[in-house]
Structure 1
């Protein structure tokens, strides 16, 4: 039995989100229908809505959903109706990287999550007036009152934790946290630099504050965000508008040694290069921010010979069934003060949330249903 629901549809690249009645397919094998309670808004949603990525439009986006399971399809065993769930990314479960515990590097990650708009078998999950819409975004398309979700995108969570307080864990927060915990793994006395103090960057700051790193440097152009970074655990801040050279600023703070770890969240190749140049010998820079497809960066090759590493990252390289419940517990215990990043908006006000996020007024908008 298919379900009619209300979704925020992007009609074409650059168009606003418009609320529209859509029809969800019934849950197939390995799928569940989820009533949405909250959904975070992420820059990836805005990038696709702008037409910058080849996702099929008109379509329904949204990939930081949180809700309650209403129905499950054949073969679903990990969740049941009534369960509180967080929605994250999907994966095939059978390729080399999935089996190795790295589903963010699934062989079919791009078509299943970001670009395909359909299930792996090519069928559509959402239609309107008999016409298929782009859906299955991150296996969820959660900018709708109900979503048809891949079981592999679903994580059952503690029902005592309000869903609107943890929705951003699905993408942005786990990305920033994973950059620090899974890649940099700061040792006692490490220096971590976070380039960009948006939702992902501030999540990296909070994660670094839960490690033995002793110097945590947040870099941004917005003074208020740097103040917040300090409250969330940054020991130093650099306002990029107020320094002549970012690399020199980091060198000055680190006594000329440079940074052990850098998290680059801005997607600017200029900032990326400055970050690599500010690494200490044997230091690692993690690329998190994604510029348009095809973007390249130049590096000083001899400068890399001191054991520097540059590592790309998707979704924190997390295995979501193990990572997300831990993050939920840290939020519950007050150790990951995610609430400081969140501003809530009614689902109907999605375009206002987009405007406030694009204009820098809010760090992490969460839509509530």
Structure 2
């Protein structure tokens, strides 16, 4: 079938993207779903920093590719072997399908499936190969097995979760990345307990979801840190007990004074080495730094091993919030419907294909948190 899609043909673009226009909206060809795959009509897709890191070259991916990894839509057609979905079912995409058989899957960590990691790095679907071609017949890579900056997507069955139809799909779109990664890092990776002290560094869509997760978990002190004062104000509205501008030269001293020696958990959601260094410096003895932001591929983070040993500090990575999507996405949607995850406050606006380059300018300069691409909007 022919459809419109947002195609990135070269990484390393420089802002403003409104002028450099790294993303072109093209008519592309999408093949029918093969065995174990489904065709989805995309209703909403979130503009995320993970997309931005591919556009600016911080995290190189095969190009040309159709962007987009966070979104939601309706099933149109199922391929051979699919019996648990049908046309019309609402689904949320998730960007790490799993084989169910590799060592990581068998130990209960499907988010780091070894088979999917190989396919994702090549720009293929997990079943092998690609289903996207340009108008001239050129093969187009899939972004994280999803490529939802398009009117339709063919994905592996494991790349989506069926959800209740009571939630608008434009809202449900951000549960597959921002909500899972942020809330999951707090609830699954750190497993914070009521009364714990927490520092959340980087208040984008993922970081603010981390803050909401800390509130759900009952954290006693929630310190929000960012360079953007408007986002600090929003963090206070969403439940931060204290906020600090990351540029404050006395930041570490003030947080340690506030918490009686440092926080129990610090979360880097900024994807920057400076944020990791800040977080590590805010920990009390026995504290833990959880790194959930994706820093540039060539970045390096250093620490002093003797102090790490004597203070029993820990550093942990968190990919996709340590989530099992089929378990956690419905849980988090339920929390949203209870009013405990007010993510509507994080959605800045809807955008069309014609506004997608400017949308990434707004994401890069911090003037928008989550923008939702609506591919079928008039």
TM-score tier after normalising by the smaller chain length: over 0.9
Cα drift, residue 66 of structure 1: 0.5
Which consecutive residues of structure 1, in runs of 5 or more, have no partner in the other structure? none
SS at match of 2:278: helix
**Any idea what the Cα deviations from partners look like across 1:219-239, whole Å, max 9, x if unmatched?**
011111011111111101011
- Counterparts of 1:321-340 in structure 2, within 5 Å, are 321-340=326-345
Cα drift, residue 215 of structure 1: 0.2
Q: Name the stretch that deviates more: 339-348 or 218-227.
A: 339-348
Q: Name the stretch that deviates more: 352-361 or 143-152.
A: 352-361
1:94 to 91, 98, 101: 101
- Counterparts of 1:136-147 in structure 2, within 5 Å, are 136-147=142-153
Q: Residues 65 and 142 of structure 2 are in contact (CA less than 8 Å); yes or no, is this contact kept in structure 1?
A: no
1:225 to 228, 231, 234: 231
Question: 1:352 aligns to what?
Answer: 358
Q: Does 1:234 align with 2:232?
A: no
1:288 to 288, 292, 296: 292
The alignment covers a number of residue pairs equal to 364
Cα drift, residue 121 of structure 1: 5.3
Give the TM-score of the pair, scaled to structure 1: 0.95
Question: 1:304 aligns to what?
Answer: 308
**Any idea what the Cα deviations from partners look like across 1:300-347, whole Å, max 9, x if unmatched?**
222212221100111001000000011111222221010001023233
**Any idea what the Cα deviations from partners look like across 1:31-74, whole Å, max 9, x if unmatched?**
10000100001111111122333322121010011000000001
1:213 to 211, 219, 228: 219
Which consecutive residues of structure 2, in runs of 5 or more, have no partner in the other structure? 14-20
Q: Residues 62 and 122 of structure 2 are in contact (CA less than 8 Å); yes or no, is this contact kept in structure 1?
A: yes
2:172 to 166, 177, 186: 166
Q: Residues 60 and 133 of structure 1 are in contact (CA less than 8 Å); yes or no, is this contact kept in structure 2?
A: no
1:197 to 183, 194, 203: 203
CA distance in 2, matches of 1:49, 1:73: 32
Question: 1:104 aligns to what?
Answer: 111
Q: Does 1:250 align with 2:255?
A: yes
CA distance in 2, matches of 1:320, 1:119: 18
Cα drift, residue 134 of structure 1: 3.1
SS at match of 1:160: coil
Q: Does 1:315 align with 2:320?
A: yes
CA distance in 2, matches of 1:223, 1:314: 28
Q: Residues 345 and 353 of structure 1 are in contact (CA less than 8 Å); yes or no, is this contact kept in structure 2?
A: no
Question: 1:362 aligns to what?
Answer: 368
Give the TM-score of the pair, scaled to structure 2: 0.92
Q: Residues 71 and 172 of structure 2 are in contact (CA less than 8 Å); yes or no, is this contact kept in structure 1?
A: no
**Any idea what the Cα deviations from partners look like across 1:118-146, whole Å, max 9, x if unmatched?**
12454211001353433332221000000
Question: 2:275 aligns to what?
Answer: 271
Change (3 A) 1:133 1:80: same
Question: 1:6 aligns to what?
Answer: 4
CA distance in 2, matches of 1:175, 1:96: 22
Q: Name the stretch that deviates more: 312-321 or 98-107.
A: 98-107
CA distance in 1, matches of 2:125, 2:136: 17
Q: Name the stretch that deviates more: 338-347 or 213-222.
A: 338-347
Change (3 A) 1:5 1:271: same
SS at match of 1:244: coil
CA distance in 1, matches of 2:251, 2:118: 37
- Counterparts of 1:59-98 in structure 2, within 5 Å, are 59-89=65-95, 90-98=97-105
Q: Name the stretch that deviates more: 197-206 or 350-359.
A: 350-359
